[in-house]
Structure 1
Amino acid sequence: MIRVSRPLASVKRIVIGRPFSSDRLARQRLPKRFAVPSFAADTVSALAYAPDEIILTLGLSGIGLFAWSPWVGIAVVFVMAIVVTAHLNVIEEYPGGGSDFVVARTNLGPNAGRLAGAALVTDYVLTVAVASSQAGAYIGGAISPLAPFQTGMAMAIIALLALVNLRGARESARLVSLPVYTFIALITITLVWGGIEACRGTLGLSPHAGSYPEPGEGEPVALTALGGALVLARAFSSGLPVVSGVKAITNTVPVFRPPKARNACITLVISGAMTAVLFLGVMLLALATRVSLSPREAEGARVSEATPVLGQIAEAIFGAGSLMSLAMLAMATLVLCIAANTAFTGLPVLTAALARTGYIPRVFASRGDRLVYSNGILLLAGLAEIVVLATGANITLLIHMYIVGVFMTFTIGQLGMFRHYTKKHRVAVRLKERQRFARKRAVSLVATVCLALVLLTVATANFLLGAWVTLAAVAFMWAAMTIISRYYSRIFSKLALGHDEDLGRWPIAAPAPLDGKDPTRGIVLLTQLNRPAIRAIKDAMASPHLSLQAVAVKTNDSAIDTLSTEWLRRKIPIPLRVINSPYRALLAPLDDYVRSFTRTYPRDAVVVYIPEFLVGHWWESIMHNHVLRRVTTRLEKYECVTVRRVPWDLDGSEHEASIASYTNPAVKELAP
């Protein structure tokens, strides 16, 4: 018997690690001590660039609007409070994950669900692009020779994060915990010490204090002419990334330890409150120390590139070149490198939900070797790499693109929650229940109106600066999801068996050959019970075999339980053998079973029947896993094994296509 070498599998094991069995899934759940830094990394890391963008935007009008920076910060925190409060209800009502996508699809219909899903995918991709690009900028600012390679560094960070997450959610959470906790501690110490000095009247000023530009300096005059209101709106938009991390928690409730919903709510409140306090503290100290990030030259260096806001605050409090200021910048750089980890945790869960709903290819619903949705991780990494390369890692452009999709998702989700509570209030009987649902409905209504106004503001202020790209991307993905959903609906209607559908007469098996030819034993490989499977079973029963059985593999995500129930209910006259696959693979268990079968009956040839359906266009093949085709390729390598593919034409009912046979030279006489 021929054994196939697997060099690629060996490389994969070295890079990613040994596979985890499905019974270890519970051990991959995140406790709160790991969940808080893992999910707070997205929002906390925004402190390393959101204040910079606010102050830089306000600096366009000179010192006049700079005094408004704390008020912009308060507006951002107000929005965060609304989002956190509203999403506590989302976690309570939809603890299965999926966040605003599930809410919109369930309460507003499939079109709204696809729109929310498309916006969420865009959010996650841009989250990775923003965080990795800013990390590359920090590294380039600290190490001058690397400055021209900011785009390349951002892409390298994305690749590294993808690799870490492919090794498993718990391992990636452990890696990010220490840097995030350290970064939070450094900011807290800085704010507390700065507050004490401010109360004493001994607070120093930033080394770059007072380097404000005149109106129009460093930017086109046309931009300044838009007026203070537009500048404030853009500054407000630039600070909203600190709110975006909420989606990661509500989308990934299943990765928390039980009680999942309660732990997710606690994590959301802690992350939101902590980020809001730190963000307001940074904005107030930035005003008190007269931080400046103007694009003008100051002492031979561009201030905005030389020292970010956190660095200038630390210099004002602890002194220029102090250990604390250097540690703050170094840790901010490290946290930015891992901030995208929240997206690598959230988007694969989202794509799995989209795949199970039939909005994207089903391959994204399968867990990989390390109990993570590997295909979703690879998709996120690939799309983020493309965005970074296309934008040249321009952080300002990426933020303008980013924030529109975030609030589109929030708005759609809260509109869905309003309708959800309206339905519950309508059918509630007890007075206390009606009052509780009325309060929650009021929260959802207020959140919907406020978030819609924020969405309108950021879309208007940033439309020409990059928001239109996000809107176009969301529209494109919505259209693609619609096409894929209709395709799967058509396929299901053609392949699925009706509950009481007559399967026709089962053929009477022909007697085994007695003329000296090698006897054969038949195996029908199945993944589900549908029309192509019934066709393969009937073809196998009509052929002469010493024995015949159907074989299916039970994985964590398969529908084998349903198959077994239907098998008994429909009284299919051949035995069904179910193979358990603890590592969620189909190919290896089937391969091992067939090889063991040939060892059990060494004198008999084995005929393996594989049902398949024929698609009409090349792009339709992307929608299917084709795992049984890979089984065909593997089994062709073995002696005494014949593989017969039983085709089903989707364009006809029971198309009489000839059976394609792949036969080894040792058993050529078995081919029809």
Structure 2
Amino acid sequence: MSRDDQRHRLTTVTGMAGLGLDAIASVAYGPESIVLVLAAAGSAGLGWTLPVTVAIVVLLGVLIACYRQVIQAFPDGGGAYTVATRYLGRRAGLVAGASLVVDYVLNVAVSVAAGVAALTSAFPALLPWSTELCVLVLVIVTGVNLRGIVVGAKAFALPAAVFVTSVLVVIVVGLFRPEVTAPASQSTTIGSVGALLVLAAFGNGCSALTGVEAIANATPSFRSPRRQRARRAEAGLGLILGVLLIGLAVLIQRFDVRPTEGRTVLSLVTEGSIGNGWLYVVIQLSTVLLLALAANTSFGGLPVLAAKLARDDYLPHVFGLRADRLVHRHGVLVLAVLSGALLVGTAGRVDVLVPLFAIGVFVGFALAQIGMVRHWRAERGRGWLPRALLNGFGAVLTIAALIDVTASKFLEGAWLIVLVIPVFVLLFSIVRRAYDRIGRDIGVGTVPARPRRTGSVVVVPVVAITKLTAECLSTALSMGDRVVAVHVSFDDEQDRARRFEADWQEWRPEVPLVLLDSKHRVLGPPIARYVKSLTDEHVVVLIGEIEPAARWERMLRNRRGAVVARCVGRTTSAVVCRLRFRLGFSNTV
């Protein structure tokens, strides 16, 4: 791997910044999701904030440990899709892939909408422009990621660092402040209803775990040794997220924070810890920025996943192509279009988008853990049993969490995700069947007949006798056994056509000229009809086009070549070639 190639890949730190923004940003809404549910039971319910958060952090720790094993076993990326396909079968792999695609799209929409919602909360005058602001933020994030994942990681590392440092300061200061006296509240015993409430709070709080799989999915984006760097990034991300979640949960109970209209739980905790001075403003602004930029996690993960799906023939192969700076450009653009449509369709409303969130990622979590259990049983290397038990424990926890999350959010909109995932699986299967059919038609995997030389004719449309015409004819003479130049003349320009024929004979290019009449002043159909009339086994149509050196001059081209190429390509079986005659450059093909 070249040094320039390494330069466009992630380090441990930039990997955490580029692929961990979603997980880190969940600190802003994860604890709040728990509090909003538990507040229904008053102070007694809020007393369960820390236990519920601890349970979520335990699940987080298990997931981090499991995904570190996924990185070690599958360094080529793909995460749950790769593991499930290998050990659970093709259909399970497609379910995992579809669930991750859905979650990545939703993550972009939710992150951008949440960031804009935080901005409009601080500046209510911007509220009527919410949708437009969502699209603007999406365009900015997309533009940065088209420059390369490393560019995005470096650009977003500072906001992430400011946010994490600020929240850590809030936690430390809040823990050492004098004890705050909580208002008296009636004691409530948790019964059957209370248990359902706690489970609902756990399901809501699990939204804080989205994004922890992104590093495993995008392991190929790391510098060598990529296994070690990705595993360190995964561990670092889990440590930061766990500390922040536990710290904020302690402060929520210490300050007896309750949901307040127009205020976020994080802002209330911050104010209770450090007041409403300049650090409070910094945290609020960094929260707004980080929420909006958390979409970057999807831009780092989905293009790599799409490339894996394309490699296995479940998506068009164009998704596997990488442009400059190692960017899977088509994956980035499709993700932007899908999430943009979702933002416009929901008018950027967070309350509509959030119920759809997190289900997809937990489907992937569960399938990945089950697949890893089978992986260790098949490998049976040194220390396989403890690893298999860890993944088995992770599978039990994630399946339980999936059931909880789906049940608690089903009527709020999660039913739509339950329908969309099978639709994606169906689309993947249709693409695969199409590739299989094309492969059979062209004989992939079989030995074709030996190549043989056959007769061919090259047809060259000409407009005037120029250097472009000479270059096209010279190229055509080196391509085929026979070359024919064709010139389309219109009914009202017969004199010009005769003069052109006389000039051609005087020029003597040793290539016959055929004049084609066009009654309706069109170029493509007469040439296409002539090509159809030829009996040669192979027909090539060579179309010359001028390409000026100055970019603005390219707008002056008449596009006749494109018109002819499109008509001939659609209506005949001829091979269409387009020769660029570059002005200001060497005129060689």
Per the shorter chain, which TM-score range? 0.7 to 0.9
Matched letter for residue 177 of structure 1: A
Measured in 2, the distance between the counterparts of 1:132 and 1:339 equals 8
Q: Does the 8 Å CA contact 1:151/1:392 hold for their aligned counterparts?
A: yes
Paired position in structure 2 for 1:358: 313
The answer to whether residue 333 in structure 2 is matched with residue 378 in structure 1 is yes
Query: Alignment partner for residue 304 of structure 1, among 237, 244, 261?
Result: 261
Query: Alignment partner for residue 129 of structure 2, among 149, 153, 156?
Result: 149
Paired position in structure 2 for 1:391: 346
The answer to whether residue 232 in structure 2 is matched with residue 266 in structure 1 is yes
Paired position in structure 2 for 1:118: 98
Measured in 1, the distance between the counterparts of 2:121 and 2:93 equals 42
Query: Identity across aligned pairs (percent)?
Result: 28
Paired position in structure 1 for 2:574: 659
Change beyond 3 A, Cα 1:384–1:645: closer
After TM superposition, the structure 1 stretch with the greater mean CA deviation from structure 2, 39-48 or 227-236, is 227-236
Measured in 2, the distance between the counterparts of 1:487 and 1:271 equals 40
Query: Alignment partner for residue 281 of structure 1, among 220, 244, 247?
Result: 247
Q: Does the 8 Å CA contact 2:543/2:578 hold for their aligned counterparts?
A: no
The answer to whether residue 201 in structure 2 is matched with residue 235 in structure 1 is yes
Displacement of 1:390? 2.8
Matched letter for residue 339 of structure 2: A
Matched letter for residue 69 of structure 1: T
Cα RMSD for the two superposed structures: 3.6
Change beyond 3 A, Cα 1:521–1:156: closer
Measured in 1, the distance between the counterparts of 2:352 and 2:55 equals 22
Displacement of 1:439? 2.3
Measured in 2, the distance between the counterparts of 1:231 and 1:203 equals 28
Measured in 2, the distance between the counterparts of 1:632 and 1:72 equals 69
Q: Does the 8 Å CA contact 2:39/2:45 hold for their aligned counterparts?
A: yes
Q: Does the 8 Å CA contact 1:520/1:545 hold for their aligned counterparts?
A: no
Displacement of 1:437? 2.0
Displacement of 1:357? 1.3
The answer to whether residue 273 in structure 2 is matched with residue 317 in structure 1 is yes
The answer to whether residue 432 in structure 2 is matched with residue 475 in structure 1 is no
The answer to whether residue 413 in structure 2 is matched with residue 450 in structure 1 is no
Query: Alignment partner for residue 293 of structure 2, among 322, 338, 343?
Result: 338
Measured in 1, the distance between the counterparts of 2:223 and 2:78 equals 17
SS of structure 2 residue aligned to 1:246: coil
Measured in 1, the distance between the counterparts of 2:235 and 2:511 equals 64
1:45-444 superposed matches below 5 A: 45-197=25-177, 202-204=178-180, 227-293=193-259, 303-305=260-262, 307-319=263-275, 321-425=276-380, 433=381, 435-444=382-391
Q: Does the 8 Å CA contact 2:29/2:208 hold for their aligned counterparts?
A: no
Matched letter for residue 379 of structure 1: V
Larger Rg: 2
Q: What stretches of structure 1 of length at least 5 have no aligned partner?
A: 1-21, 216-224, 294-302, 426-432, 511-516, 525-539, 547-601, 607-628, 650-656, 665-672
Deviations 1:515-560 (A, max 9, x none): xx99754599xxxxxxxxxxxxxxx76x3479xxxxxxxxxxxxxx
Deviations 1:416-454 (A, max 9, x none): 2122222212xxxxxxx3x42222222222221221111
SS of structure 1 residue aligned to 2:76: coil
Measured in 1, the distance between the counterparts of 2:52 and 2:295 equals 25
Measured in 2, the distance between the counterparts of 1:147 and 1:67 equals 35
> What TM-score, normalized to structure 2?
0.77
Displacement of 1:259? 0.5
Measured in 2, the distance between the counterparts of 1:447 and 1:345 equals 25
Measured in 1, the distance between the counterparts of 2:145 and 2:95 equals 27
Q: Does the 8 Å CA contact 2:18/2:150 hold for their aligned counterparts?
A: no
Deviations 1:188-227 (A, max 9, x none): 1111111122xxxx1447xxx7699999xxxxxxxxx993
Displacement of 1:127? 1.0
After TM superposition, the structure 1 stretch with the greater mean CA deviation from structure 2, 234-243 or 22-31, is 22-31
Matched letter for residue 265 of structure 1: R
Matched letter for residue 384 of structure 1: S
SS of structure 2 residue aligned to 1:227: helix
Displacement of 1:286? 0.7
Query: Alignment partner for residue 490 of structure 1, among 437, 454, 459?
Result: 437
Change beyond 3 A, Cα 1:634–1:42: farther
Displacement of 1:663? 9.9
Measured in 2, the distance between the counterparts of 1:285 and 1:605 equals 87
Change beyond 3 A, Cα 1:107–1:646: farther
SS of structure 2 residue aligned to 1:30: coil
Change beyond 3 A, Cα 1:152–1:212: farther
Measured in 2, the distance between the counterparts of 1:486 and 1:203 equals 66
Measured in 1, the distance between the counterparts of 2:196 and 2:117 equals 27
Change beyond 3 A, Cα 1:163–1:213: farther
Displacement of 1:508? 7.0
Q: Does the 8 Å CA contact 1:61/1:214 hold for their aligned counterparts?
A: no
1:454-533 superposed matches below 5 A: 454-503=401-450, 505-507=452-454, 521-522=475-476
Measured in 2, the distance between the counterparts of 1:73 and 1:501 equals 63
Q: What stretches of structure 2 of length at least 5 have no aligned partner?
A: 458-468, 485-507, 513-539, 547-557, 580-589
Q: Does the 8 Å CA contact 1:238/1:399 hold for their aligned counterparts?
A: no
Paired position in structure 2 for 1:569: none
> Number of residues paired by the alignment?
501
Q: Does the 8 Å CA contact 1:169/1:372 hold for their aligned counterparts?
A: yes
1:598-617 superposed matches below 5 A: none
Q: Does the 8 Å CA contact 2:314/2:428 hold for their aligned counterparts?
A: yes
Measured in 1, the distance between the counterparts of 2:197 and 2:4 equals 52
Change beyond 3 A, Cα 1:318–1:418: same
Change beyond 3 A, Cα 1:327–1:492: same
Matched letter for residue 311 of structure 1: S
SS of structure 1 residue aligned to 2:223: coil
Measured in 2, the distance between the counterparts of 1:212 and 1:42 equals 36
Measured in 1, the distance between the counterparts of 2:482 and 2:82 equals 51
Measured in 2, the distance between the counterparts of 1:177 and 1:40 equals 10
Measured in 1, the distance between the counterparts of 2:28 and 2:353 equals 15
Runs of 4+ in 1 over 6 A off after TM superposition: 211-215, 602-606, 635-639, 642-649, 660-664
SS of structure 2 residue aligned to 1:65: helix
Q: Does the 8 Å CA contact 2:44/2:187 hold for their aligned counterparts?
A: no
Q: Does the 8 Å CA contact 1:49/1:134 hold for their aligned counterparts?
A: no
Measured in 1, the distance between the counterparts of 2:407 and 2:150 equals 40
Deviations 1:435-475 (A, max 9, x none): 42222222222221221111111111211111111111111
After TM superposition, the structure 1 stretch with the greater mean CA deviation from structure 2, 247-256 or 356-365, is 356-365
